[in-house]
Structure 1
Amino acid sequence: MTIDVDAPLNAITRATAQAVTEDPANALAVFRASGVAESAVATVVRARTHTVRVDEPAALGGADTAANPVEVYLAALIACQVVTYRFVAQQRGIVVEDLRIDAEGDLDVRGFFGLDESVRPGFQAVRLTVHVQGPESAERYAELQREVESRCPVLDLTTAPTPVQTTLVTG
């Protein structure tokens, strides 16, 4: 199978490669979001022109008006995987007719509630199940999966340390 060099995602990749070749500083992007607390534990987050609401179920002090933070993380991981599958598949000329990803994570709340300092507050494990359909061989889809796992930014945030600097502003 040949790669369709005129495919839309390939055009984005080519334009990005050209921009980075012309000036390596073009490879650096800064993404921003800003959140404001609302009600007991809900948050309204703004990113560019988009709004994301986050809340907790009643059992965790919320009104259950939206997904909770760890569910939003799972959603971000799924969405990033989908984007990465689409880009990589198009770059490699791999036909993906249908793509669905399920995610689940195991969280021991003792870490969050401070009940056991030996328990980390985040997920102890996350499992992704990728359902892909198309005319390619199972090995070709396995190759695609390996490349997606090496290139997915949100997966990288989980599997590799990311320095985080927090600044507290009071008053």
Structure 2
Amino acid sequence: MNVRRLQRPLKERYRREPGSSRVTLRARGSEADTPLSCSVDIGRAVYEAGAHTGVGGTGSAACSGDLLLGALAACAQITCQMVASAMEIPTRSIEAVAEGDLDLAGTLGLSEEVPVGFQEIRLTLNVDAPEASEEQLEGLKEKTERYCVVMQTLKGAPRLSVAWETG
């Protein structure tokens, strides 16, 4: 697949019509049969999610932390794959592994000193590209990190607003 050829008309349209490059993604979490689970609808698929076993969940569905790490791994892997293709770097495989550490005492409100959320996230990209030069691999690394949406979002902490609607 030629990624550059695929993206060329998109880039041309975005240059001609700058506002057309803006998109809004939406996910909706809805109540399920217990207070420990929900369904997440992203418009193209519905996923089941549940509380982590460390806060009382059953462990039968991905917890929100799993989904966050999964989004990072997916974004990094796809971005790296697309960049490698656009740069014409032959690869045998590309794998992204995301891991994160958090202390559930914060989530459960047991300690005011323990933050809620991940304290550290690690992303490892395993790229098997034996024919690639060091220069190509450096370019792949730089562009993947620059263009990975989820990675850049986590690094930059976007504005977040919360609205409550009660009825």
TM score, norm. by length of structure 2: 0.90
For the pair 1:34 / 2:25, whether they are aligned, the reply is no
- Alignment identity in percent? 27
Indicate the SS of the match to 2:152: helix
Matched letter for residue 164 of structure 2: L
Give me the whole-angstrom Cα distance separating, in 2, the residues matched to 1:162 and 1:68.
22
CA RMSD of aligned residues (A): 1.6
What aligned pairs does 1:3-18 form with structure 2 within 5 A after superposition?
7-18=1-12
Question: Cα offset for 1:51?
Answer: 0.7
Task: Decide whether the 8 Å contact of 2:28 with 2:40 is kept in 1.
Answer: yes
Identify the residue that residue 103 of structure 1 maps to in structure 2.
98
Task: Decide whether the 8 Å contact of 1:40 with 1:62 is kept in 2.
Answer: no
Matched letter for residue 15 of structure 1: P
Give me the whole-angstrom Cα distance separating, in 2, the residues matched to 1:138 and 1:116.
47
Question: Cα offset for 1:27?
Answer: 1.1
TM score, norm. by length of structure 1: 0.88
Of 143, 150, 153, the match for 1:154: 150
For the pair 1:25 / 2:19, whether they are aligned, the reply is yes
For the pair 1:63 / 2:58, whether they are aligned, the reply is yes
Task: Decide whether the 8 Å contact of 1:10 with 1:87 is kept in 2.
Answer: no
CA gap of 1:120–1:58, structure 2 versus 1, over 3 A, is closer
For the pair 1:141 / 2:137, whether they are aligned, the reply is yes
The ranges of structure 1 where at least 4 consecutive aligned residues each deviate by more than 4 angstroms after the TM superposition are: none
Count of aligned pairs = 165
Task: Decide whether the 8 Å contact of 2:81 with 2:94 is kept in 1.
Answer: no
CA gap of 1:157–1:84, structure 2 versus 1, over 3 A, is same
Q: Deviations over 1:40-82 (max 9, x none)?
A: 3111011112011111244322222211110111111000011
